[in-house]
Structure formats: C-alpha cells, structure tokens
Structure 1
Amino acid sequence: MLGYACMNHTLRDREPPVRCNRDMQKATFEERGPAYASKLALQNVTDLHTTLRWNAKHDLRFYRCTSALVPWNSQFDLADLPDYEAIRAAAERCGALIEREEMRLTFHPDYWCRLGSDSADTRANSIDAVEYHADWLDLMGLDRSPYYGINVHIGATYGDKAATGSRFRDAVSRLSPGARARLTVENDDRESLWSVPELVDALDGTDVPVLFDYHHHTFTDRG
C-alpha cells in the first residue's frame, strides 16, 4: 500500500489551493476565536475529501493527515463550533470514501505531544491532543483500531527511561477507550532515545502496538 504524509503539492498549486492545513497564529485565534476556527475546519475537511478522491484515483491508499485539520481544537469542543453539522457531514463523506476505496488514514500529533513528559501540564495537554485526534476519526465513522491510528513518539527520556515509561503507561491508562484503541508508538531516530525493543518493554501490559519506522532506525547503530 503506497501513500504519503500531509502535503499534496499538486493540489496545493491549484487555484484555489486544495489543502487540509489552514491554521492561524495564537494572536489571530485570540482575536477571531472559535468561529474562525470553525470556518477553517470546514474548508480543511472539505478539501480532505478532495484530497482523498485524488489519492484513490492515483492508487495512493495510505494518507497521514495533518494535525491542523481542526485548528486550535485544544481550546474548544468540536460540537460547539457554529459549522459543526457541516463539518460532521463532510467528515462522514471522507470516512465513507476511505472505507469504500479501502484506504487508510492516520494522524501523527505534533512534536510537543509527549505522554511520558516529566511535566504534568505537558502530559495533560498531550492526552487532550490524542483525544481530539480520536474525535476527528470518530466523526469520520472509522473503526477504533490502529488501522486508523494516532501515532506518537515517547520522544525523550528525561534522564530516566524507566520513570518515563511509567509516566507514559499512566497517561495511556487515562485515555478514553476510543483514543487508546487507536494509539500506536513509533521508534525514534536518535541512539539515546527509544528503540523498538525498548518500546516493546516500556509498553508491556498496555496493548498499544509499536510501529517500526525504518527511516528513523537507519539514523541509529542498532543493527
């Protein structure tokens, strides 16, 4: 199964551009609020459907979608947006297309999503991020499984891998069943961080799958 991550330059270069990552800076969100986020989200999800149709036409059936699909979703509940019903309908069309064309769609939350962080605030924000990505997949009507996954890194050790792994497992236990069912964890690209065997050990008892990233693996000397 062939695919790609996030940006389709062929569609982005159209007029008007087709893209799923319309976003805004903090100052803009503070000025214009959830109503503007709602407008951008509707445009993004509508263009996601166009992107998925293009992917299917070109036999590209694996797509890692941008985490900017619903900008600033950490600051509001999706169902409270003024365009929620239109967003939901557009998302359902995306999900139906994904299932009909036997495609996969996954997410990879931003680098700051650290479920094993030594900061309680960062862990709480990271749990929230995984949850709203899961909400987007629910909105599309896709199965709650790693096949439509939310892929993260542990991403750091904070000087103590055992303690970091323990915090990560605790954060996983705090996820909703739907979010937890979609979570996958990927190996890192630095020798000092997390290899596949280390992740398998750290995730023991969680039922969270480990995803092997060969590209990241090649940056290490782990064989």
Structure 2
Amino acid sequence: MRLGYACVNLSLGGKMRSLRLATLRERGLAYLQTLVDENLALLVAILRWNLAQGITVFRISSDLVPLGSHPEVPLEQIRFEAAQVAEVARLARQGKMRLSMHPGQYTLISATGPVWESSYRDLCYHAEVMERLGIEGDIILHGGGVYGDRQATARRMLAHIEELPDGVRRRLRLENDERCWSVLELLPICEASGLPLVVDNLHHGLNGAAEVPLEGLPWERILSTWGGRRPKLHYAEQDPSKRPGAHSDYVSASGFRAFLAAVPWTDYDVMLECKAKDLALLRLRQELGQAEEERITTPGES
C-alpha cells in the first residue's frame, strides 16, 4: 500500500498561481505564460521533494495552466518548457510515481447543455496536460447530480463517457460522493462503461454506509473495474467543526488502520485528502511505522 497527498506541498511552501478572467483579459497570454512557467517549476520541485521522501503518489493541481479549459485560453499557444517536462517525466519514471488530477465541482459527467459542454472542455484540458507531461495517470471525477431521474441520468453519463476522446476516457475514474452517487450506485455505471471506481471512505460514511458498511462493500467487483491496473482509494476524516464532508487537517493512525482492515486487498494506493497535505502524510507514516515497530519488538504474552 502506497500513500499520496494532493496538490500543495506545505514543507516547500508556495502554491500554484491562479488567475482571474479579468486579469487575463487585462494582461494577456504573455502573463499567463509566466504563470505556467512558475507553476511547472513548482511541480518539478514538489516531485523532487516527493522522490527524496519516498512519496510516489501525488495529485497535480488543476491550476497548472490557470483557466486552462476556458474558451478564451488557446491552450495550443501555451508552452510547456521542454526541460521541465523532461524532468517531470524523469522523476515520475525514477520514482515509479502515480500522478493524478481531479477536476473541480463544476465538471459534471451527468450534466446537460452548456454545463456538459464546459465539462467536456475541462476533461479534455486535464488529459492534454497529462499528454504534454508524458504521463498516463488518473483523472478522478464525481458522478455529479441526479436531476430528478437517476436512471435517465445514468444513461446520460454512459452516453457522455462514450463521447469522450480516448485520451480522456482511458484516464477517467469515477468516485463516489457524499450526496448523489454512492459506491453501489456508481458501480454498475463503472462496470458498463469500463471505468475504474475510486472508493472514498468519508463520502461512503455520509452516503452509503447506512446501507452497507465499508467492509461489506463488494470489493471484488470494485477491484474488477480496474481491469488488472493497480487500484486507488481515497481516505479522509471529518473536520468536527465544519459541514459534513469537510476534510480534517490530519488523520488518526487508529482510524486509518480500521480503514485498511476493511479493505481486503493487498496492492493498492491511497490518496490522503487532508488539509495538512504532505505534513499529514508524514505524520501518519511515522505513526504507522512506530506502531508496527512496537508490534514487532514487544514480546507477546505467554
């Protein structure tokens, strides 16, 4: 089992530069290009740090190209500096890294009309970023809404998946969410479309656990959606001071061990979704390591 974290490295500091549409219109593509150069340099620095720490699972920010899927951004005119791209590929290859991206809440495979049109552009943008970086990776997406008719929406989702270019479809994975699409509701869609299913424990706790506990999920069917590829899960814990579904800063070793005990797999990856990002991963890894060391070195009772 390998652990990963998402988008921001707090040990290094710095965040991907974003951009308002008004600023883009005022300052133009030359300014956008400078932000892309800075963001790509930061990605290289993060991957170097990850490699040094033995962290091989990481989510790339969707802001690598700010406003990258907006109709006013001609992505074909945005340059990825060749040396930086080569370094990303080298680090990923050397560390056998699994890199992913996660489009935002307004990218909906279940939507219609203009929302689906913008969602289609956004999915193509994420696949284009991965193509340029020379990585396959995972594009993780929630099911979206139900729109008053679950069966009709499921059929529309399958039709939209068929419409996607191959570069998007072969990277796309669906994830259960905390409101609309549970694991058991998404599983038939994944089986029918050939898309892998990513199980999120916190979302399942809010949407699905009353029907079936985590350990009772059809794990063999879920594994089969991955078609022999290494599966991936998400792990998070609730921030007690915020709305249901809000992620905590850190996670507990005891809670994570209970999660591992519920998953009957051996080789898989876990993306930690914590506000403390890499710091949460390092703390959890240390606590798990200490517990394992204590288990090994402490004599058993006779």
Which band: TM-score by shorter chain?
A: 0.7 to 0.9
Distance 1:52 1:85 in 2: 16
Once structures 1 and 2 are overlaid, which stretch shifts more, 67-76 or 47-56?
67-76
Amino acid paired to 2:32: A
Distance 1:99 1:162 in 2: 42
Q: Is the 8 A contact 1:67 1:109 kept in 2?
A: yes
Q: Which residue of the other structure, out of 153, 162, 181, is the alignment partner of 2:151?
A: 162
CA deviation after TM superposition for structure 1 residue 125, in Å: 0.7
Distance 2:165 2:178 in 1: 29
Which residue is 1:4 aligned to? 5
Amino acid paired to 2:185: E
Larger radius of gyration: 2
Unaligned runs of 5+ in 1: none
Q: Is the 8 A contact 1:169 1:206 kept in 2?
A: yes
Which residue is 1:53 aligned to? 48
Distance 1:35 1:103, change over 3 A: same
Q: Which residue of the other structure, out of 208, 214, 221, is the alignment partner of 2:195?
A: 208
* Alignment TM-score, normalising by the size of structure 1: 0.87
Distance 1:34 1:9, change over 3 A: same
DSSP-derived class of the 2:120 partner = helix
Q: Is the 8 A contact 1:96 1:140 kept in 2?
A: no
DSSP-derived class of the 1:218 partner = helix
* Alignment TM-score, normalising by the size of structure 2: 0.65
CA deviation after TM superposition for structure 1 residue 171, in Å: 1.5
CA deviation after TM superposition for structure 1 residue 101, in Å: 0.7
1:67 correspondence with 2:67: no
Distance 1:63 1:159, change over 3 A: same
Which residue is 1:96 aligned to? 90
Q: Is the 8 A contact 1:152 1:186 kept in 2?
A: yes
Which residue is 1:183 aligned to? 172
Which residue is 1:196 aligned to? 183
Unaligned runs of 5+ in 2: 214-302
CA deviation after TM superposition for structure 1 residue 78, in Å: 2.6
Aligned length: 207
DSSP-derived class of the 1:194 partner = coil
CA deviation after TM superposition for structure 1 residue 85, in Å: 5.0
Distance 2:4 2:191 in 1: 30
Alpha-carbon RMSD? 1.5
Deviations 1:91-139 (A, max 9, x none): 232122111111111000011001111x311111111111111111111
Structure-to-structure mapping, 1:73-92, within 5 angstroms: 73-74=68-69, 75-81=72-78, 84=79, 86=81, 88-92=82-86
Once structures 1 and 2 are overlaid, which stretch shifts more, 197-206 or 176-185?
197-206
